[in-house]
């Protein structure tokens, strides 16, 4: 029951280095199962979701060892099961990538229904549809998904919705299938390209990742590789918004500016100055913030994973802004917490109307999920007074050393342990 205690009002300034991308890492780690040899993965973020995935692989028999803080070596040759450990799997959404990876290697996968942040219904029908197109059958029983195939044969798969998870999972299952698989209406997020690049570095034949048609020609073997994960687009965007919210001046380093274009465009529309360099962006705000409307969409649209953070900024902008959530059914759960801090936001289904206020004020709040929690951190950094944020376990699923990084930018943030007994009294 640890919490963050944040005293707002400090302008963030200086430099922050962005870690490897969570949503690439949680797919690349299980993808190692498909390799015939040891893989070395660099730029691994130190976050709970990645540590859980490493733990799952270890429980399944893989050799997993950290070479240094950000480099992991995984030996998949000793994996001896196609059944993923239930208790660990249900802790994270991305455990569904074990389905594609185990199916690709063993033609059989048994994995618990994935857990993760709650944004309403989070179906995996498109993942299963893809596996069936490749020749598999599945059953859902007692909270487990069981997928099996005599052989996997390449096929045409048309995605009914643009889905990151299903696009990556079908790539994993198809990479060693016989013949050609074509995924149409594929998602185009940077982590999809990263997974394809990783698999290609092991000898796969994947073309078109980053467009809406991906072609995968199956190969018989994948060899070991050394691969460095791309920087985290959403972590970078979160620090960009934090800099803007505190009228700061921050150089956000180790980023791919192209991945940040939709975020940069919105910040500029709001009056924030952004300078782009080869692998960094400088974010600086000297005046007030303008209102603007934001609609989240699959890449290259504005990312849903930045929606709560930008909402904080809009809540201190001049005028009324409208946010439309275009990906998830229920991604405004954090709004109630933000309102406690003085924000004026009303939600109607997938739309939120934000009336800008002069400033936010400190309040005891909770992280409702990973990005909602990041939004609370930003709100606390720019609010008057000292905010306490509970349920920080959600934030630590996806933000590497967030306290240290924010402190180095001049924030007043501490992580404090709350004994369970007093936690109950407080709660
Ligand atoms: N969908 C279906 N059927 C499916 C799969 C998805 O209808 O079989 C729908 C979903 O209900 C949703 C939409 O398609 O409305 C998009 O879902 P997608 O599959 O793209 O999401 P995901 O793969 O489960 C990943 C990220 C999320 C991020 C979304 C969208 C990981 C581990 N998670 O989820 O990241 O919000 O893509 O970009 O990669 C986060 O990092 O905070 C996070 C939640």
Report pLDDT digits (tens) over 255-306: 999 999 999 999 999 999 999 999 999 999 999 999 999 999 999 999 999 9
Measured in degrees and rounded to the nearest 5, phi and psi for residue 199 equal: -65, -40
Average pLDDT score over residue span 6-34: 98
- Closest by Cα among 211, 296, 235 to 50: 235
pLDDT band at 426 (very low <50, low <70, confident <90, very high): very low
pLDDT confidence of residue 116? 53
Q: From residue 378, how far is each of 9, 336, 368, 406 by CA, in Å?
A: 11, 15, 14, 10
Residue nearest to atom 16 of ligand 1 (CA): 163
Average pLDDT score over residue span 223-227: 98
Residues in the chain: 427
pLDDT confidence of residue 425? 40
Strand 294-295 relative to strand 320-324, pairing: parallel
- Closest by Cα among 165, 154, 160 to 127: 165
> Tokens standing for 150?
């005599």
> Among 130, 161, 162, which is best to mutate for testing ligand 1, by the most ligand atoms less than 8 A from CB?
161
CA 302 / ligand 1 centre spacing (Å): 14
Closest ligand 1 atom, residue 167 Cα: 19
- Classify 272 as helix, strand or coil: coil
Q: What residues pair up with 145 in beta bridges, in sequence order? A: 111, 140
Question: In the chain, what is the straight-line distance between the N-terminal and C-terminal CA atoms, in Å?
Answer: 11
Annotation marks residue 117 as catalytic:
yes
pLDDT confidence of residue 93? 85
Instruction: Please tell me the pTM assigned to this model.
Output: 0.96
Of all residues in the chain, the percent with pLDDT exceeding 90 is: 91
Q: Are 89 and 95 in contact (CB under 8 A)?
A: yes
Average pLDDT score over residue span 60-69: 96
pLDDT confidence of residue 117? 53
Q: Are 202 and 222 in contact (CB under 8 A)?
A: yes
127 Cβ inside 6 Å of ligand 1: yes
Torsion, Cα of 399, 355, 301, 43 (10° steps)? -10
pLDDT band at 423 (very low <50, low <70, confident <90, very high): very low
């Amino acid at each position: 029951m640890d919490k963050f205690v944040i005293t707002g009002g400090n302008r963030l300034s200086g430099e922050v280095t962005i870690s490897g991308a969570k949503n690439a890492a949680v797919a690349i780690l299980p993808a190692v199962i498909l390799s015939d040899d040891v893989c070395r993965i660099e730029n691994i973020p130190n976050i709970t979701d990645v540590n859980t995935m490493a733990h799952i692989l270890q429980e399944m028999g893989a050799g997993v060892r950290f070479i240094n803080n950000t480099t992991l070596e995984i030996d998949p040759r000793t994996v001896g099961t196609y059944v993923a450990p239930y208790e660990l799997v249900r802790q994270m959404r991305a455990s569904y990538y074990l389905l594609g990876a185990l199916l690709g290697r063993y033609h059989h996968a048994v994995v618990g229904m994935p857990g993760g942040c709650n944004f309403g219904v989070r179906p995996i029908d498109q993942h299963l549809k893809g596996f069936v197109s490749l020749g598999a059958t599945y059953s859902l029983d007692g909270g487990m998904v069981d997928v099996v195939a005599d052989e996997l044969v390449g096929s045409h798969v048309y995605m009914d919705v643009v889905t990151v998870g299903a696009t990556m999972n079908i790539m994993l299952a198809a990479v060693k299938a016989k013949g050609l698989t074509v995924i149409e209406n594929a998602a185009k997020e940077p982590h999809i390209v990263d997974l394809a690049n990783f698999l290609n570095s092991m000898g796969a034949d994947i073309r078109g990742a980053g467009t809406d048609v991906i072609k995968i020609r199956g190969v018989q073997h994948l060899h070991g590789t050394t691969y460095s994960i791309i920087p985290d687009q959403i972590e970078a965007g979160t620090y960009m918004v934090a800099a803007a919210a505190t009228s700061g001046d921050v150089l956000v380093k180790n980023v791919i500016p192209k991945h940040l274009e939709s975020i940069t465009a919105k910040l500029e529309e709001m009056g924030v100055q952004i300078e782009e360099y080869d692998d960094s962006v400088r974010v600086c705000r000297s005046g007030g913030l303008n209102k603007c409307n934001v609609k989240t969409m699959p890449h290259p649209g504005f990312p849903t994973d930045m929606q709560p953070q930008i909402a904080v900024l809009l809540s201190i902008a001049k005028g009324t802004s409208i946010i439309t959530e275009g990906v998830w059914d229920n991604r405004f759960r954090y709004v109630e917490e933000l309102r406690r801090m003085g924000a004026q936001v009303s939600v109607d289904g997938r739309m939120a109307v934000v009336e800008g206020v002069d400033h936010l004020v400190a309040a005891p709040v909770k992280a409702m999920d990973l990005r909602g929690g990041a939004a609370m951190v930003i709100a606390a950094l720019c609010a008057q007074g000292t905010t306490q944020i509970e349920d920080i376990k959600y934030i630590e699923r996806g933000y590497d050393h967030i306290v240290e990084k924010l402190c180095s930018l001049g924030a007043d943030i501490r992580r404090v342990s709350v004994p369970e007994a007093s936690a109950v009294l407080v709660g």
